[in-house]
Amino acid sequence: MSLAGQRTPELLSVTATNSAQSIFSLIQTLRPNTSKRACFLQVQFDIAGTGNLYIGNSDVAANNCGANLVASQANQQFASDSNLILLDEIYLLTSAASGQVNLVILCR
């Protein structure tokens, strides 16, 4: 069961920049009813992306990231049966000025 006004799954694209931003802050303008929590998250750097996409915490950098993606690669996070993934604690950063990032978010 999803939250009122929330799609399950959420399928959307956001623009990451060379200034780190949380996934939650990026999606709030598109889907203001999206929960901060998820049980599944897929982050894909769009096929047209240039450079790298770094995924990490608020201090994400080229030399400090949980994942480093190039165009068309994806990273998935699973939280078993609960909404343990906190979207406001996962940040995106690009090595280029900006890049499209495609997201799949599943909440219970």
Instruction: Provide CB contacts within 8 A for 104, sequence distance 6+.
Output: 9, 10, 11, 40, 41, 42, 44
Domains for the chain: give ranges and CATH numbers. 10-106 (2.60.120)
Judged against a pLDDT cut of 90, whether residue 87 lies above it is answered with yes
Judged against a pLDDT cut of 80, whether residue 1 lies above it is answered with no
**CA neighbours within 13 Å on the CB side: how many for 20?**
15
**CA neighbor of 71 nearest in space, from 92, 100, 91:** 100
| pTM of the entire predicted model | 0.91
Predicted confidence (pLDDT) per residue in 25-70, tens digit = 999 989 998 889 999 999 999 999 999 999 999 999 999 999 999 9
How many CB atoms are located within 10 Å of the residue 102 CB? 17
